[in-house]
Every structure is written in structure tokens, then in C-alpha cells.
Amino acid sequence: MTQLRGAALSPVHAYLLVGPPGTGKREAARSFAAALLCPTGGCGVCDTCTRALGGVHPDVVVRERTGAWISVGDAREIGRLGALSPVEGRRKVLVLVDFHLVQDAAPALLKAIEEPPATTVYVILAEHLPPELVTIASRCARIAFAPVPTDRLAAALVAEGTAPEVAAEVAEASGGRPDRARLLASDAGFAARRAGWSDAPGRLDGTGAVAATLADELLAGLETVVEPLAARQAAELAELAERARLYGDRPGERKELGDRHKREERRIRTDELRFGLASLAAAYRDRLAGGRDPAAALAAVQAVNAANEALARNPNVTLLLQALLVRLGRLEASAAGGRPPLR
Ligand SMILES: [Zn+2]
């Protein structure tokens, strides 16, 4: 990122990288840290860069939250780490992840980042700016991260070796998130899963039995999405083991990584479920456009959208999907029989 590359020459003491999940904040923070430590400003190939980019440089410290929110204890620990001198080089970089979840810890964190030694640089990552983070944000140089436009993302995937037609499809399906687009591009089951959702309307007959079978099939598809992620997570665990071998264990580090991996898994399942529901809604919108029983098609689109919204409330996903499919099946049956849709 050019803005950060320039900043590495004469850094201020704190940066705030703000943008939705999957827009490359973590990767940018890592290469920024490498640039801050590298004797030549981030060559990408020297020993310092290699270790910083590989997550094994002792002067690049990445802090993950330990609970659902950043705790006051987390913030104090950050202050303690920030006050330490660099182990090797001229600077120490503290990367703070998920700081939109700062809540009550904001005053303690503000205190920490306002009094660092000149050798410490904070790089704070947040998905958005909640009110608690506003004062902290005012003390930081802010850099915005946005979803990548679909055509640019597709071009990047093609450059990395993805077939053009696959690249276009997964870029579209990723909502402009490079991490998700890359996962989908490496995911052989993507097209089949999408077809499973798009073809669902034709299989429904309004019975609970068919809805339950179909729900099981679609949810089994969600599990295959986690597989490419598992490979990356295994690599991160190996990286952690290597770091522990070289520099010793940091208490809690393994648990932090495990917790982050669980969050990633949850997020990826939810992303995929939302994508499935969007494919399902698109299938009904096509019918609506085709003029075939528009009232039933419209009711179906609304039912799918309502289910999508309900996901935010962390429901039992199996029950949610079964109920949706039963409802869609009834709409289907009533459209076929010319009766008014059942409520
Ligand atoms: Zn270098």
C-alpha cells in the first residue's frame, strides 16, 4: 500500500487501519512492520523483512484479543509491551487486531498509546470506528481500507494463475474481499455448492421431509468450505511452533491463535451461508423477472431475505434453514396448484 510505504520513511507513533473484514489490513500491517524495521525501508528480501513478513521477528508483536472484547487487562499489557525497548533493531512495532471491539478498555489503551517511547510504533486494526475509538483515532494517522472493485480483484486472481472465468465468478461472489475470493478460487466445490442453492426451488415440494434432506445437503456443503482454510491455519500453527522454538513460548499465544482460528471458521461458514441465501434469492428473482407466478416468487425472495437478516441474531442455523425451505416449498406447491400462497 503506497500510503504506508511512504509513511515507513518517517513514521508517526500510531496508525489506524480501518476497513471491513478481509480487505487486507492484517497483511498490510505486516508489510508495514517489515518496512519500519528493514534497513532499506522494506526491500522484502533481507533477513529482517523475511522474518517480519514470516511472523517470526521479535520486534513485531501482534496482539489478538483474549475474549469477545478487548479487556482493560489487554490494554494494560499493550502499554507494558509498548514501553519495552526493541530486542534487535531500531524500532518495535505493536500490531493491535480487532480494535473496533475496544469498549471499556479505550481509556487504558489511549493512555498506552499516548506515552510510548520514540522507538515504538502502534499499528491498530479496526473494522469500523465505534464511538469509543474516536479519541484514539484522533491520535493516529488513519488509513482506510475498502472492498476491492470486482474487476480489479478478478484481474489480480488471473495474475496469480486462476482461470479467467473462475476469477470473474469468485470475485463477484466474494463481495470485493480478496481473502474470500482466494479461498473460493482454490475451492473446487464452489460451482457445485452454488448450483445446489440455485437448484433448490425446483426440488422443494412443501413437505418437511424434503426440506430437511435439502437443508442437510446444503449445510454439508458449508463444511467443505472450511477445508482450504484449514491448510492455512495449519501453516500458521507451524509458524507459531517455529517462533516458540527460536524465541521461547509466550504464555497464551497458542490459545490466542486457536481462538482466532475458531472465529475465522465461524465467519467463513456465515459468509458461505449468506452467499448461498443470495444465490437462492437470485433464483427466485429470475423467476420474478420471467413473469412466472410473480406473487409467489416475490414472497419467496422476501422469505429468503428475512432469513438472511435473522442470521445476525445467531440462530440455530439448521432450524432456520429447514423452516425457510418448508416455507419456500409451500409457496412452490401453491404456485403449481394455483392456490393462494400459504402463510
Ligand atoms: Zn528488507
Q: Which chain residues have CB less than 5 Å from ligand 1, an ion?
A: 38, 43, 46, 49
Distance in Å from the first CA to the final CA of the chain: 52
Task: Please say if the pLDDT value at position 170 is more than 70.
Answer: yes
State in Å: Cα 44 to ligand 1 middle: 5
The whole-angstrom separation of Cα 261 and Cα 300 is 35
How much distance in Å is there from the Cα of 155 to the middle of ligand 1? 28
pLDDT of residue 313: 81
pLDDT band at 2 (very low <50, low <70, confident <90, very high): low
Confidence of residue 315 (pLDDT cuts 50, 70, 90): confident
CA 32 / ligand 1 centre spacing (Å): 11
CA of 264 to the centre of ligand 1 (A): 30
| pLDDT band at residue 336 under the 50/70/90 scheme | low
Q: What is the pLDDT of residues 66-81, one digit of tens each?
A: 777 888 998 999 999 9
pLDDT band at 340, cuts 50/70/90?
very low
- Strand pairing class (120-126; 92-96): parallel
Strand, helix or coil at 168? helix
Task: Give the predicted TM-score (pTM) of the model.
Answer: 0.62
Q: What is the average per-residue pLDDT within 110-117?
A: 85
pLDDT given for residue 263 in this prediction: 84
Ligand 1 geometric centre to CA of 296 (Å): 61
Q: How high does pLDDT run on average in the chain?
A: 86
Q: How far is the CA of 323 from the centre of ligand 1 (A)?
A: 56
Q: What is the pLDDT of residue 158?
A: 94
Task: Give Dmax (Cα) for the chain.
Answer: 77
Tell me the CA–centroid distance for residue 28 and ligand 1, in Å. Answer: 15
d(CA 331, CA 343): 9
pLDDT of residue 192 exceeding 60: yes
* Least confident among 105-119, 121-135, 212-226, 280-294: 280-294
Could you tell me if 150 and 175 are in contact, meaning their C-beta atoms sit under 8 angstroms apart? no
C-alpha cell at position 241: 511452533
For 63, 90, 102, 220, 235, the CA distances from 128, given in Å and listed in that order, are 18, 31, 11, 32, 29
Tell me the CA–centroid distance for residue 83 and ligand 1, in Å: 25
Residue 341, pLDDT score:
44
Q: How far is the CA of 159 from the centre of ligand 1 (A)?
A: 25
pLDDT greater at residue 190 or residue 46: 46
Q: Ligand 1 centre from 58 Cα, in Å?
A: 15
What is the rounded average pLDDT of the residues 226-254?
84
Per-residue pLDDT at 29: 92
* Ligand 1 mean position, distance from CA 99 (Å): 28
What pLDDT score does 61 carry?
93
pLDDT of residue 178: 84
CA of 328 to the centre of ligand 1 (A): 57
Quote the ligand 1 centre to 51 CA distance (angstroms). Answer: 9
The cell for 308 is: 438472511
Q: Is the pLDDT at 22 greater than 80, yes or no?
A: no
Average pLDDT over residues 159-180: 86
Please choose, from the candidates 277, 129, 105, 115, the residue with its C-alpha nearest in 3D space to the C-alpha of residue 194: 277
At residue 156, the pLDDT reads 93
Q: Which of 64-78, 82-96, 301-315 has the highest mean pLDDT?
A: 82-96
- Phi first, then psi, for residue 226 (nearest 5°) are -75, -20
Ligand 1 geometric centre to CA of 43 (Å) = 4
Whole-number Å distance, alpha carbon 71 to ligand 1 midpoint, is: 35
Ligand 1 center to residue 30 CA distance, Å?
13
What percent of the chain has pLDDT above 70? 96
Output the pLDDT for position 113: 86
Say if residue 338's pLDDT is above 60: no
pLDDT at 343 over 70: no
* Cα(22) to centroid(ligand 1), Å: 26
Give pLDDT, residue 1: 59
Q: Tell me how far the alpha carbon of residue 49 lies from the centroid of ligand 1, in angstroms.
A: 4
Range in 87-101, 198-212, 255-269 with the lowest mean pLDDT: 255-269
Whole-number Å distance, alpha carbon 122 to ligand 1 midpoint, is 20
Residue 180 pLDDT exceeds 90: no
Q: pLDDT at position 15, please?
A: 93
pLDDT above 90 covers what percent of the chain?
Answer: 36
Between the CA of 106 and the centroid of ligand 1 the distance, in Å, is 34
Dihedral over alpha carbons 82, 86, 92, 96 (to 10 degrees): -40
Alpha carbon of 115 to ligand 1 centroid (Å): 28
Ligand 1 center to residue 121 CA distance, Å?
18
Tell the burial category of 325 from Cβ atoms under 10 Å away from its Cβ (0-12, 13-18, 19+): buried
